[in-house]
Amino acid sequence: MRTQLSFTPLSGIETELLAVLAADTQSSNASDAKPDPALLTADAAVLAAAKTVLASGEFKAGANETILLHAPAGLAAKRLLLVGLGKQAKVTTHGVRSAAGTAVRFIKPRGIREIVLVLPEGDPKILPHAASVRAAVEGAFVGDFDSDTYRSDRKDQSVESFTLAAPAAADKAALQAAFAEAIIIGESQNFTRSLVNEPGNKLTPTILGQRAAEMASQVGLGWEVHSTEKLRELKMGAFWSVSQGSAEPPALIVLRYEPVGVTDGPVLGLVGKGITFDSGGISIKPSDKMEEMKTDMAGGAAMLGAMRAIALLKPKVRVLCVVCAAENMPSGTAQKPGDVQTAMPFSADKPGKTIEIINTDAEGRLVLADGLTYARQLGATHLIDAATLTGACVVALGQVNAGAFSNDDETWARFDAALSTSGEKFWRLPLGEEYAEMIKSDIGDIKNTGGRWGGAITAAEFLKVFVEDTPWIHLDIAGLAWAEDSKPYIAKGPSGVAVRSILEWVRRF
């Protein structure tokens, strides 16, 4: 998608479609209060072109509501699209992101291949120009993604040109910087989505390693991709136990970002679950919706997307990434419930923890256990992991918030602050000794499930064993990694959730 930032007066822009955002300025919450839509632009020509439809009551400026005007009087644009942001008192830059995605998705099935979106003008404390630029561009990239990659009759409806029109009086340098940054972030989120969208036969652990290496080479990251022999050398018994049932070998993916001139300070460790297909192993899953288990590598894909953005945006902090990729399959060589596995030791004088396998479908925490230990061994001083880890988290939070856990309030505060920029929704859940007791094993050190109750929390407690005192955040993205239904601003399919939040957390260091 070609992108540009324009400061041309709106009336003179020749385009297939000009999109303008609007808010409902009606402050009353009374049930009989009529919406009072207003365009978030000071351009007289656009205001005049939309005056009649705004007065008609046909368009109420609800969140992501649209109305299309053909041949708008006084404008060079062929069409004028109005997109709602909802109540003015609740307008945020996150709403701008969704509205931009809505505008892009509106034109795609209509054969319109170019769009000019007007940067909304409003209270600069609520809609600062630079933040709105970033949100709008990110939303446009998110809206342009579709998951029908393998349809033989696919008609590519991708938007060819996206222009963001800003006021002439704006700070051009600041907006250009925000615009360039947003392109990187939007493309990185879509890179993650493209990985998550791939079926298991097209994205094996080996191929995921290849895709990661190609990306790393393109953006200047250091990289290594290892397989079975390295796992054995490192004594990654937990990771290997998941891999052993599959004919496909595992992949241990390591990426490094080393900014010029930075030789001390924190080293941030990003660790992702990369289960490219999860059958459940011997504790096999029900067949219903098992095809969606190709997405069980979404946490690892989010880390790869975040690393792509980090490499291009160049924050002044060292970052390493570990993605543990494997298939979890049932076979004669697969691990069994009741088996005891030994996780990777952190050091020669510190033996690895022994893990009683209660359920082979609780495999994500096993690969993450060794991934977290390895990241610490490589020098990570702070850790963040992401995984489609538990259905229990979806039961608790639905498909609105993803789950988050942390053993360090200061580290969590950085992440929580990052959400104000990323616009993503994470809800912090508790940890505690009472939950840790639930994963103690009679035969080994710990067991890989704590039973039905508090399943997302006991999974986090399992991971906490392997981070020890290292400041750490765990993201359980099971409920948000795949959008079950299309929304006005995003297609059904992979969401790329956590890429923006992980990136912002890193940048806050």
Cα separation, 12 vs 21, in Å, equals: 18
C-alpha–C-alpha distance, residues 42 and 50, integer Å: 12
Q: 51 catalytic, yes or no?
A: no
Active site residue 235: no
Characterise 319 by phi-psi region: left (phi > 0), alpha (psi -120 to 50), beta (else).
beta
Instruction: Yes or no: say if 5 and 133 are a contact pair by the CB < 8 Å rule.
Output: yes
Element (H, E) at 252: strand 251-257
* Contact between 256 and 221 (Cβ < 8 Å): yes
How far is the C-alpha of 225 from the C-alpha of 316, rounded, in Å?
A: 25
Structural contact between residues 468 and 444, judged by C-beta atoms closer than 8 angstroms:
no
**298-313 vs 205-219: helix crossing angle, rounded to 10:** 10
SS (H, E, C) 198-234: CCCCCCCHHHHHHHHHHHHHHHCCEEEEECHHHHHHC
Distance separating alpha carbons of residues 420 and 198, to the nearest angstrom: 30
- Give one DSSP letter per residue of 407-419, joined into a string: S-HHHHHHHHHHH
Q: What distance in Å separates the CA atoms of residue 461 and residue 474, rounded to the nearest whole number?
A: 10
Structure tokens at 265: 């300070």
- Residues whose CB falls within 8 Å of the CB of residue 260, separated by 6 or more in sequence, listed in order: none
HEC profile for 134-171?
HHHHHHHHHHHCCCCCCCCCCCCCCCCEEEEECCCCCC
Q: Identify the active-site residue in 193, 294, 365, 464.
A: 365
- DSSP-H helix ranges across 270-408: 298-313, 364-377, 391-397
Which letter, b or e, does each residue of 435-466 get, where b requires 16 or more Cβ atoms within 10 Å of its Cβ? bbebbebeebbbbbbbeeebbbbbbbbbbbbb
Q: Identify the sign of the CA torsion 309, 313, 314, 318.
A: negative
Question: Would you put residue 164 in left (φ > 0), alpha (ψ -120 to 50) or beta?
Answer: beta
* Contact yes or no for 495/482 (Cβ under 8 A): yes
* Catalytic-labelled residue, pool 78, 256, 285, 492: 285
Catalytic residues, by residue number, are 285, 365
